[in-house]
Amino acid sequence: MKKEEIFRGAATALITPFRDGTVDYDAFGRLIDWQIEAGIDGLVIAGTTGEGSTLSDEEHREVLKYAVERAAGRTPMIAGTGSNDTAYAVDLTKYACELGYDAMLVVTPYYNKATQAGLIRMYETIADASSKPLILYNVPSRTGVGIEPATYLALADHPMIAAVKEANGNISKIVETFALVGDRLDIYSGNDDQIVPLLSLGGKGVISVLSNVLPAETSAICKKWFAGEVRESAKMQLGYLPLINALFSEVNPIPVKAAMEAMGICGGEIRLPLTPMEEAHRQVLLSRMREAGVALK
């Protein structure tokens, strides 16, 4: 069953700005406005890049509420509602549905992990409770468990499971998933260095860290591809590779927060266990930003 497309192009996995240990809503609002005005194709709130795992329950709900109200329908909004506690993920998903989010990004359970049968039951439980579509988020390097292609196939016909954010990094597995699910699940790249490869297989875009820094340009990689300007799209993908690598030279979102601070958009404060970027890495990041034409403060 083909489901309605949530977004096409680049959705930013948005950072959550902090100041003195609390969410900096002034900076957050400016950031949301800037992303939308730059033409971003969607925003993901309180995901990995948004440090959702270090937000208290109250903060998580406040951040989701503030962001969707600030966006005011100007771009598709996706709420990070995943957890290793299925009951909590269900509650947060219901809350985000009530707020008016267009979709939920639901990561695989971390630490307690799961068998593939457990993943199927967990996702079906959350999807059954949701009035909005789910994007399944596969990032085994962080969670310790991956979604197998056969598991995607088993979930593909659920009416509320619409898409996948694939950050597995294993192209062979991703190819197998495309072959198995066909058009029953939309697939988005979860890695900025694999946007064009996944588009070439039939992907619908990317949930991006790079687009925090370059929203219009990351969206343009996708737009050019969809317009048939394949060489230009690939050229952009390869041209931004040094910056992409610098943005992942330390654990995300350490580098991207350093980048946003260097641009003067917000502070670079992060929460433990993450720590400020090492100076040697920061200097390389700044150099790559300049080379990419990013204006620094």
Answer whether 252's CB lies under 8 Å from 270's CB. Answer: no
Q: What's the average pLDDT block by block, 10 residues per block, for the chain (297 residues)? A: 87 98 97 98 97 96 98 98 97 98 97 95 98 97 95 97 95 96 96 97 98 98 98 98 98 98 95 96 98 94
Please report the pLDDT score of residue 297 as a whole number: 87
Would you tell me how many other CB atoms lie within 10 Å of the CB of residue 266? 20
For residue 208, what are its two tokens? 């991006």
Please report the pLDDT score of residue 46 as a whole number: 98
Please report the pLDDT score of residue 35 as a whole number: 98
Residues β-bridged to residue 207:
11
Please report the pLDDT score of residue 112 as a whole number: 92
Q: Which residue type is seen at 62?
A: E
CA angle (162, 177, 113) in 5-degree steps: 75
Alpha helix (H) ranges present in 130-209? 140-143, 149-155, 171-181, 195-201
Please report the pLDDT score of residue 130 as a whole number: 98
Please report the pLDDT score of residue 192 as a whole number: 98
Catalytic residue ranges: 137, 165
- Biggest CA–CA distance in the chain, Å, is 50
Domains, in order of start, for the chain: 9-227 (3.20.20.70)
Answer whether 48's CB lies under 8 Å from 270's CB. Answer: no
Q: Which helix (DSSP H) or strand (DSSP E) does residue 254 occupy?
A: helix 254-262
Please report the pLDDT score of residue 215 as a whole number: 98
Answer whether 154's CB lies under 8 Å from 180's CB. Answer: no
Would you tell me how many other CB atoms lie within 10 Å of the CB of residue 90? 19
Please report the pLDDT score of residue 61 as a whole number: 98
- Dump pLDDT digits (tens) for 139-158: 999 999 999 999 999 999 99
**Inter-CA distances, 102 with 60, 78, 124, Å:** 17, 6, 18
CA angle (198, 179, 174) in 5-degree steps: 40
- Dump pLDDT digits (tens) for 7-65: 999 999 999 999 999 999 999 999 999 999 999 999 999 999 999 999 999 999 999 99
Please report the pLDDT score of residue 3 as a whole number: 78
